[in-house]
Amino acid sequence: MSRRPVTPALVWLFLASALGCGKVGPPRLPELAVPMPPEPVEVRNVASGIEVSFRRPKKYLDGVSLDDLGSFEISRSCEHAPGPVPVADIPVVDHARFQKQSRITLVDFDPQPGQICTYRVVAVTLDDYRSAPSDSAPIERKIPAGDGP
């Protein structure tokens, strides 16, 4: 039996078959590679403003586990005011952690007593795919009893 010389083409063929080449499975449609909306968006009055909280989405629209969440964009629309107004852009910094933060909470200090506002949250991946917006129920800014001056 004669031996064939090892050529660069044979090395590439071996590496491609040993390591696998390309993605396994069908390609993913871009419209399914967006995160699920961060729901529910809950709002409540606290002494210093309106507290907005929501759950972090864990999957893309197609049900695949979400592993490249980059940030959350939060905006506010109030009656008799131009809107929506950006409130916060919260970066996701726990990619390497085993247990990721499941609920995100922030306080919006700007609404004045009597203003009725609605909040909108959008999840954004690292490569800028955006979820559908999640809206909160409208809330009237009130200072809770016992928390005033």
Banded pLDDT at 101 (limits 50, 70, 90): confident
pTM of the model: 0.76
Element at 42 (helix H, strand E): strand 42-46
pLDDT at 26: 67
Domain ranges, ordered by start, for the chain: 26-140
Whether the predicted pLDDT of 60 surpasses 80: yes
Q: How far apart are the first and last CA of the chain?
A: 96
- CATH number for the domain running over 26-140: 2.60.40.10
CA atoms within 13 A on the CB side of 53: 9
Q: Is the CB of residue 76 less than 8 Å from the CB of residue 108?
A: yes
